[in-house]
Amino acid sequence: MLFSKLASAFEEVEKRSGRLEMTDLLAGIYRESEATEARKITYLIQGILAPPYEGIDLGMGERFAVQAISSAAGYAVKKVDEDYKKLGDLGLVAESLLGEKRQQSLSAQEMSASYVYDSMLRISKSAGAGSQDMKIKLLAEMLNNSTPQEGKFIVRFVTGQLRLGVGDATILDALSFTAAGDKSLREGLERAYNLCSDLGHVASSFLESPESVLEFRVELFKPIRPALAERLSTPEDIFEKLGKCAIENKFDGFRMQVHKKGKNVEIYSRKLEKITFMYPDVVEAARAIKAGEMIFEGEALAFNEKKNRFYSFQETMHRRRKYGIAESAKEYPLYVYAFDILYLNGEDYTQRSYSERRKALEKVFPSGLFRVSEKKIAESSADIEKAFAHSLEQGLEGIMAKDLGAPYVAGARKFAWIKLKKSYGKSVDTIDVVVVGYYLGRGQRAEFEFGGLLGAVYNPESGKLETVAKIGSGYSEEEMRNFEEMLSEIKTPEPPADLEWKIKPDFWVKPKYVVEVAFDDITLSPTHTCGMKRDKGYALRFPRMMRMRADKDEKESTTTQEVIEMYQLMKEKK
Ligand code: AMP
């Protein structure tokens, strides 16, 4: 497929907000693409070069892109910079300057989508001495062959600004439409995706043969999309939903998925990034486990030996670092509470019941720094209540109730696990929002260039971010200073492309940070766009910032649908 075709489809997708229209457009692309190029085309749509666990990063800062635009369009770097200040989007700058090219290149060639992808991969792979010049040269070559529209999307892609607002769900729907003309094949596609976490791979296999996705199995060293927990607000509600169930403590650390084959060990984060190098202590302990082949999940917590208690979540997060790993491992030794097993010695455990998986888990653990989360069987809501009180007494954040008969529900939230967390004020739980903008300090806070955040949640149905709260309290002075510094670095003149908004902050920022927010209530308001219908969206009342969630990325905020469910829960509670 020609890249120009993809670029015009991107232009169309950007103009549409309806999920159906987007699905239609994408299905059109897939119908015309060869199975062999579908993997690359899918990554281009997602704005990535490979699934997160492969750790492939373009390593292309804005400065490189500015230089490449300057060289391809024949304008001075100063002019590119000035236009960037005016337009606030390097993609638009490339589009306008390539449209008024000073030197017409005689040798310009049409590019295929595969060629563009391969060139970007070459950019990402050039490393070492002279690599900066090489990256700029490769990008300039591509831009030299580009139409203004192609140039816009290439520049947005390489600078990490391609945000088409197409969610994974829309891509899966589009694939199903390609072969069946409707969503009927979506379930099989989704299952395949949840097992391998690689949409590109799913797309190319599916176009090759739609049945092939039904053959996908759990594989070692391909992370499985993590199962998620539902929330309910009382032990009674949980018992009503699950009946007799298992109750485990809910630990407040960070999630790890560990894959092991003999001495070969990889660790994946909740975001499915490979984080093995950060945890040599966990790797060593995993190597020592007797079982030869295994995939399991656990929650890692740092332990304060002097005080004989666990460190807080914030302190535990010191262990997520790229440098000074050995020192921090000494200062913050980890325990990992194993809570699920997904694969054992050649057998896929994801389809087995919780009870079976738990039995297998207890055979393998404890081992080294791995412990097993404590488990009780609740026969009544009073049992759940007791377990919950007990977990709070231990300083934990709550409990997880688990359906004894349920399989491991990869990538989804289906009442197989239900969390009950300590309440914050009147809210049933906290939510995690993506920061999309911020406000300047006013009154007593005028000394700060920071006075609050504008937070949004993610709507996987539409692939858009939707605002849900202006968070003006809950910050320590230090946090205000930190936010001021972190956010001023990612300011943008325009709102994020995939944000639906009605309220304007003092500054927009690139969606990057996720923060946890407590609140008193959820109300309907004309200013927020979360789940907006007939000019009213859902909004948090008295929102206050609790902490940063460095373990979550911008697509892992709470979803619009969860906010609506919480609204219903709180209404019932009243
Ligand atoms: P939340 O992030 O609040 O939606 O809660 C779900 C998270 O709780 C999971 O992603 C795990 O990281 C964590 N967790 C802590 N303890 C457990 C447990 N016993 N079983 C499952 N997940 C747990």
Residue 244 contacts by C-beta under 8 Å, 6 or more apart in sequence?
377, 378, 379, 404
Q: State yes or no: pLDDT of 424 exceeds 70.
A: no
Domain ranges in the chain are 3-158, 228-421, 430-573
First-to-final CA distance of the chain: 56
Closest CA to 61 of 385, 489, 468: 489
Q: Which CATH architecture has domain 430-573?
A: Beta Barrel (2.40)
Confidence of residue 494 (pLDDT cuts 50, 70, 90): confident
d(CA 205, CA 217): 13
Distance from the CA of 251 to the center of ligand 1, in angstroms? 7
> Structure pTM?
0.85
Q: Is the Cβ atom of 216 under 6 angstroms away from ligand 1?
A: no
The fold adopted by the segment(s) 228-421 is D-amino Acid Aminotransferase; Chain A, domain 1 (3.30.470)
| Burial class (CB within 10 angstroms; exposed 0-12, middle 13-18, buried 19+) of 413 | middle
Would you state the pLDDT for residue 106?
60
Distance from the CA of 568 to the center of ligand 1, in angstroms? 23
The tens digit of pLDDT for each residue in 425-481 reads 666 678 999 999 999 887 666 667 888 999 999 988 778 899 999 999 999 888 888
Q: Is the Cβ atom of 266 under 6 angstroms away from ligand 1?
A: no
In 280-374, which residue ranges form alpha helices assigned H by DSSP?
280-287, 313-316, 325-331, 354-364
Ligand 1 atom showing the smallest separation from residue 252 Cα: 15
Q: Is the Cβ atom of 339 under 6 angstroms away from ligand 1?
A: yes
Closest CA to 224 of 255, 253, 254, 257: 257
Q: Is the Cβ atom of 274 under 6 angstroms away from ligand 1?
A: no
Q: What distance lies between CA 193 and its chain's CA centroid?
A: 15
Nearest protein Cα to ligand 1, atom 11: 255
d(CA 49, CA 117): 8
Confidence of residue 506 (pLDDT cuts 50, 70, 90): very high
Would you state the pLDDT for residue 164?
84
**Does the annotation count 250 as an active-site position?**
yes
Superfamily of structural domain 3-158: DNA ligase, ATP-dependent, N-terminal domain (1.10.3260.10)
Note whether 199 and 46 are within 8 A (CB).
yes
How is 475-530 classified by DSSP, letter by letter? --HHHHHHHHHHHHTTEESS--TTEE-SS--SEEE-S--EEEEE-SEEEEESS--T
Residue 444 contacts by C-beta under 8 Å, 6 or more apart in sequence?
none
Q: Is the Cβ atom of 357 under 6 angstroms away from ligand 1?
A: no
Find the mean pLDDT for residues 472-500.
Answer: 89
Distance from the CA of 152 to the center of ligand 1, in angstroms? 41
The tens digit of pLDDT for each residue in 19-35 reads 888 999 999 999 999 99
d(CA 488, CA 472): 17
Closest CA to 418 of 456, 428, 427: 428
Would you state the pLDDT for residue 245?
98
d(CA 183, CA 481): 48
Cα-based distances in Å from 573 to 219, 234, 456:
43, 9, 25
Per cent of the chain over pLDDT 90 is: 70
Would you state the pLDDT for residue 166?
87
Instruction: Catalytic residue, from 152, 222, 250, 421: name it.
Output: 250
Closest CA to 193 of 353, 23, 51: 51
Q: Decide the pairing of beta strands 464-471 and 499-500.
A: parallel
In 107-231, the DSSP E strands lie at 230-231
d(CA 242, CA 509): 42
